[in-house]
Chains A and B, each alone.
Chain A
Amino acid sequence: MNYRVEKDTMGEVQVPVDKYWGAQTQRSIMNFPIGPAASMPIEIIHAFGYLKKAAAITNNWLLT
């Protein structure tokens, strides 16, 4: 598997090239091998997408 390097304030971490997530999500995968892999419900991932979009729109609106 090929990896790219992501960084945060703790340093560098290797993320598989076919994944979109960043350093902190990769660290969580390594630090919490609890329960079946990928057991976070997809609806929650989608909900966070809506939440982040709403936050971005609101922050942009407040700045202008």
Chain B
Amino acid sequence: MTTLDKTTDEILQLAAEHFKVPRERLSPSDDFFKKLGINSLQALDLLTRLEQHFRIELPDYELQGVSDFRTLAERIQSRL
């Protein structure tokens, strides 16, 4: 099983690549809406990519109240 740190790192890498933001500018405690400059539609897009990458299903209601990468990683980790 992957560790939470590894999961977090993979999320940051995927988000950086897809939204064309330098990886070094992202950190686990960042608000991904603000840091990536995305709206809820783009967040759904990110969710789909994360589901494909980690081969999981993550209900979008699990993202309620989640805005930082670390907490997102915890949600994903609980499905691995």
Q: Do A and B come from one complex?
A: no
